[in-house]
Amino acid sequence: MAALSAPALDVFARERRFERGLLWRVTRKRQAPSHVYGTIHEPDARVSEMPASVSATFERSRSLMVEFLPDAYAQERFLEAAMFLDHQTLEEKIGAEDFARVLEQLAPIGLAREFVNQLKPWGALINLRRAPASAPTGLDAQLIGQARARRRPVAQIEGVEEQIFTFDECPMESQVALLKHSLAHRDELIELAAATVDAYLERDLAAIWRLRERFIARYPEVAAHQAIMTKRVLHDRSVVMAYRMQSELRRGDAFVALGALHLYGSRGVLALLERDGYRTARMY
């Protein structure tokens, strides 16, 4: 077997280093240490609170940075962008049978047929994944509330227009294909979400990634569309996150909370920070 080149070895080492761990200490010369914590956006009580050691780190932090700060304007703007503002309809995009499935699956959150029919496919897809009203408060919302109650600075990595751009510029063909796929494989996606939470509780980022990749591999007919969404939602945003969070890291004692898969591998934020001269160490 041919020997691996130095760049290939470096990529392999980074991939392996960032396979496990949710809380990471980030340091740089002449800067106070900060911490980056991986969260998960699933409506499961087991992930709605931080472990004691992570909570203690948050309590000692000077500031909080999260992916996105929802407010009334941002929510209204996001909803507006998720809807067709002309004469297009969701039903004509995905067909009557799949539209009926969307209505059935969105019934528990009380969305009217006329409203649902105005949603773009990506808007419907996001609503399918929306947490039920009975779900525990998400960890990001809890962190924001606690930081504000303690009058600590709270910053966001992305603005609402960037969040909209991630989905709205996805090709319509891919939006339709992924929505149809989610409708057809709802039970499998529910099982995938449960397995993902289990892997998260084990702090196993590589296992979360493998679960996702194995599911995608079973359906090659949508692989190209999944690749587009992975690039837009995960890899492209990781680059932005690694750059934007440095404004808080330079001030020191920051606590940055973002989706756990953004920590994983050679294309995650931790590897990108190391390329920019930071040092990282797993704490939990």
Strands 254-259 and 63-66: parallel
List, for residues 173-201, the tens digit of each pLDDT value: 999 999 999 999 999 999 999 999 999 99
30 within domain boundaries: yes
Q: Is residue 174 part of a domain?
A: yes
Nearest to 69 by CA among 162, 135, 1: 162
Report d(CA 62, CA 252) in Å as an integer.
Answer: 8
The answer to whether position 176 is within a domain reads yes
Q: Which domain holds residue 22?
A: 16-282
pLDDT one-digit tens code per residue, 21-38: 999 999 999 899 999 999
Residue 133 lies in a domain: yes
Task: Report if residue 195 sits inside a domain.
Answer: yes
**Is 5 a member of any domain?**
no
**pLDDT of amino acid 3:** 52
In this predicted structure, what is the pLDDT of residue 12? 52
Which residue from 89, 171, 149, 150 is spatially nearest to 124, judged by alpha carbons? 89
- Per-residue pLDDT at 259: 97
Give the model confidence (pLDDT) of 259-280 as tens digits: 999 999 999 999 999 999 999 9
Domain-located, residue 2 = no
Strand order across the 154-156 sheet:
154-156, 63-66, 254-259, 31-39, 23-28, 279-282
The pLDDT of residue 131: 58
pLDDT of amino acid 1: 45
| Per-residue pLDDT at 21 | 98
* Residues forming a β-bridge with 133: none
Of 89, 84, 43, 36, whose CA–CA distance to 64 is shortest? 36
Q: Name residues of the chain where pLDDT drops below 70.
A: 1-15, 131-136
pLDDT the model gives residue 2: 47
Q: Is residue 201 part of a domain?
A: yes
Q: How many domains does the chain have?
A: 1
Identify the pLDDT of residue 5: 56
